[in-house]
Structure 1
Amino acid sequence: MKKLYALLFCLALFGLQNMYSQGSPDYSGGLKVNLNEDGSKYFRIISWAQIWAQHNPDRPLDANGNEQSELNFSLRRARMLMYAQISKDFLILTHFGLNSLNADNMSAIGTGERSQLFFHGVWGQYRLTDNHAIGGGLHYWNGISRLNNQSTLNMLTLDNQRQAWATLGLSDQFVRHIGVYLKGNFNKLQYRISINDAITNNLQANTTPTSNGAAVYSGRRLLGSKDAGRTYAGYFDYNFLDQESNFLPYKVGTYLGGKKVFNVGAGFFLHPNGAVSADGSGALTGEDVSIFGIDAFYDAPVGDNGAAITAYALAQFNDYGKNYTLGRTYETGSLIHGHLGYVIPSESKTKFQPYFQFDNRQIDALNDAASSFGIGANVYFSGHNSKLTLEYFSTKYANTDAVGTLTLQAMIYI
């Protein structure tokens, strides 16, 4: 524990020395370069990093049967995003970076199979009208829920609810599909819909269905792209109070009271024949994958002293095929998720936001449930641009013992 306390102290100093460097409310975010006099043509670059230190006393033995350290460091995210408005009608966006770099997956010289750097998005967009646009490429205009369209720059909790990124690595590349999308709004109703190709070499690229009847998510690989190669997604949310921006697809996690927002949304993801099962003779049958979500988001100031509340709730219904499970992440069944945060009143630029989150998952294949809860706090030295997050998160999966992890994150973005 002495090592952990020393680590917390050092990372706190790291955050303090950056508290006046950049960030909202006194920093607009990113490097914007105008390409003409009126600024209608420009490009903007945004970069961010999230550094983690995790303490987990319940880590399993490694592949050689050795005990593992309870304290570990990782680079959770290191990203760079650039978008350019080359005219009032055309936009291009490029997003690349890495995720979860640690001592076990680093490469000796930064190359080879363990290289982490890849494109998270590359798409072009054409403005149809002031309120509607069409685009295509490797994009993040997803369906299902707000959390499946979550920005990683301004989450309330330490990280996103993992099961809410419900197609990650199954039909897409890290929650991004290659396809076309249509997005816009009709007054207070925002929408995004897309038609995409499913990935062939997904997380189950080396898995074959067996006669136990459980589905495998490998429809495109086993049945062909004609019958199982297309996915369809959409998300619709009604903005009862302040209108949120949908210029980019990334949904804000918490505005810290900077807006007064109340949205109710619903979305879907459909992949005909996305999963495959086998009968006793080994004959393969396609099964449709369908995921639906209903959610609500509220973020508003409380009084005039800097206090604010953020609340979110999601009900998600997953059908990946009969008795589908993959690890402890994907299951046919249902998910209920909620989180709540409160910005403590303060006249200072430094703000404190304790929060709580919970999940309950029903798992058809196990005829059982999984549950988790997290409690933590954000310290904002200059909004989301410079912050520390400390969170304790515990998960109990079916009849196994609960596993708890303490994580400290330092985040900077410009």
Structure 2
Amino acid sequence: MIAQGSPDYSGGLKFKFNEDGSKYLRLISWAQVQANYNTDKTFDGNGNENSKLNFNLRRARVLMFAQINKDFLILTHFGLNSLTSTTLSPTGEGDGSQLFFHDVWAQYSLGKNHIVGGGLHYFNGISRLNNQSTLNIMTLDNNRQSWATLGLSDQFARHIGVFMKGSFNKLQYRVAINDASVASLDTQTAVVDGAAVYNGRSSLGSKAAGKTYAGYFDYHFLDQESNFLPYKVGTYLGEKKVFNIGAGFFLHPKGAVINTGTAIVGEDVSIFAVDAFYDAPIGENGSAITAYAVYQNNNYGKNYLYKVYGTGSMLYGHVGYVLNGDKLKTRFQPYLSYGTHSYDAIDDNRSTLGVGINAYMSGHNSKLTLEYMNQSFGEMDANTISLQAMIYL
């Protein structure tokens, strides 16, 4: 992991166990703090109007990994997410205040370019954004529907299972076989002749719906990106010249269920995507462009719809431009994002439009992000202005 765009920091606290540094423990910590202003009226469950301005500890994380032999590595990643006034607890013992493991895995080398491992991991399929690092996102946050199974079959976009990763020349790959979670954010009950519900393992048991399968493959036409860790970089700020085309999948046989009136029947969940990523400097004056686009086909079962998830399709893209400037001083990157999501269950499409600007004071290690986001779906037309401060060490 490197500090993309930082002129004075190499990233992470490293404890060396030998003179050449090949045996080490590395520690990285980051925090993202937000102020969010909702321009529309919102109400709590008691009918009281909410405050338009709210504060959010969006992420507070610690990541550690150690390698004392080139043939094996262990990684541990823990933290909390979205701590707000509604999730605070008087003594810090409430669910919203709790730290939990995001990743814990061990991996072993099978040779120069291939690794096998297992544990609670982030070697996901589908698309680049389903493997997105939260240290260097270009937009304020990730496109939500790209984390396509978060909380449905996994723990916060992580599964427990085994994975294999590596490369064949310019083609990188990651594949995984995982256990599906019994618990799910989707607590709906399948009704007779109704839409599918994504809780297959809970309804059918692990024998019928216990495993998920995932993979992502991307071809690197220009500079080769690191696949040392699974977290995909959002923007390099012109530090590399990258052009990748990728494709991926997620399969959960019998992951969804429908109620036929006489039985609860499993339906296969299948998600496929193709995407492209481009990041390159422009000239020699510090300017750079970042562009990304993805098409994703989602099949969660018959007419499935739950919050942002739903059987249908998604087209999303974003583009950003780092303005001319001295790399030793603050640099600015305006950006634009747009997504449209169709659902089989309803006629309305969901659309998101984001307009923002990043101020990089030391690359991604110290940056401010100001973003306007509009989300339109059915009767909802939400407008939010957010300011986020992020530091990682």
TM-score after normalising by structure 2:
0.97
Match of 2:369 in 1: 389
Match of 2:330 in 1: 350
**What residue is the counterpart of 1:312 in the other structure?**
292
Correspondence for 1:3: none
1:116 deviates by 2.9
Are 2:255 and 1:274 equivalent residues in the alignment? yes
Q: Match for 1:75 among 29, 47, 57?
A: 57
Give, in angstroms, the shift of residue 396 of structure 1: 0.7
Decide whether aligned partners of structure 1 residues 376 and 112 sit closer, same or farther in structure 2, where only a CA change above 3 A counts: closer
The percentage of aligned residue pairs carrying the same residue is: 67
Indicate the SS of the match to 1:86. Answer: strand
What is the correspondence of 1:128-167 to structure 2 with a 5 Å cutoff?
128-167=110-149
CA distance in 2, matches of 1:385, 1:308: 18
Give yes or no for contact 1:101–1:116 (8 Å, CA) kept in 2. Answer: no
Q: Distance in 2 between matches of 1:66 and 1:303?
A: 54
Q: What does residue range 314-393 of structure 1 map to in structure 2 within 5 Å?
A: 314-327=294-307, 329-347=308-326, 348-393=328-373
Alpha-carbon deviation of 1:23? 8.0
Matched residue SS, 2:36: strand
Structure 2 partner of 1:245: 226
Q: Does 1:178 align with 2:157?
A: no
- Tell me the alpha carbon deviations over residues 168-223 of structure 1, each in whole angstroms, 9 at most, x when there is no partner: 0001000000000000000000000000000001112x432101420011110110
8 A Cα contact 2:83 2:97, kept in partner: no
Give the CA deviation at 1:312: 0.2
Q: Aligned AA for 1:350?
A: T
1: distance between equivalents of 2:222 and 2:38? 42
Per-residue CA deviations over 1:11-56 (Å, capped at 9, x if unaligned) read: xxxxxxxxxxx98221001100101122111010000000000000
Partner of 2:270 in structure 1? 290
Do 2:201 and 2:208's aligned partners in 1 also have CA atoms closer than 8 Å? yes
Distance 2:98 2:189 in 1: 27
Aligned to 1:303: 283
5 Å-filtered alignment, 1:187-202, equals 187-202=169-184
Residue segments in structure 1 that go unaligned for 5+ positions in a row: 1-21
8 A Cα contact 2:170 2:221, kept in partner? yes
Structure 1 residue 112, shift from structure 2 partner: 3.8
Distance in 1, matches of 2:369 and 2:100, equals 26
What amino acid sits opposite 1:413 in the alignment? Y
Are the aligned partners of 1:23 and 1:29 in contact in 2 as well (CA < 8 Å)? no
User: In the alignment, does 2:243 pair up with 1:254?
Assistant: no
Q: Which residue of 2 aligns with 1:233?
A: 214
Cα distance between partner residues in 2 of 1:218 and 1:409 = 35
C-alpha distance in 2 between matches for 1:120 and 1:275: 25
Task: Name the SS of the counterpart of 1:226 in structure 2.
Answer: helix
Root-mean-square deviation (CA), in Å?
A: 1.2
- Counterpart-to-counterpart distance in 2, 1:349 and 1:194: 42
- Is 1:127–1:134's contact at 8 Å kept on the other side of the alignment? yes
Instruction: Return structure 1 stretches of 4+ with deviation > 4 angstroms.
Output: none
Q: CA deviation at 1:108?
A: 1.1
State the distance in 2 between where 1:247 and 1:151 align: 13
> Does the residue aligned with 1:54 lie in a helix, a strand or coil?
strand
CA drift of 1:259 comes to: 0.1
TM-score, length-normalised on structure 1? 0.92
Distance 2:52 2:20 in 1: 55
Q: Distance in 1 between matches of 2:309 and 2:346?
A: 12
- 1:405 maps onto 2:384 in alignment: yes
**Residue from 12, 15, 19 that aligns with 1:37:** 19
Q: Is the 2:258–2:266 Cα contact (8 Å) retained in structure 1?
A: yes
Give the residue type in structure 2 aligned to 1:338: G
Residue type of the alignment partner of 2:37: H
- For residues 371-391 of structure 1, what are the alpha-carbon distances to aligned partners after superposition, in whole Å with 9 as ceiling and x for unaligned? 111000000000000000000
1-structure distance, mates of 2:331, 2:74: 35
Shift of 1:65: 1.2
What secondary structure is seen at the aligned counterpart in 1 of 2:74?
strand
* Partner SS for 2:69: coil
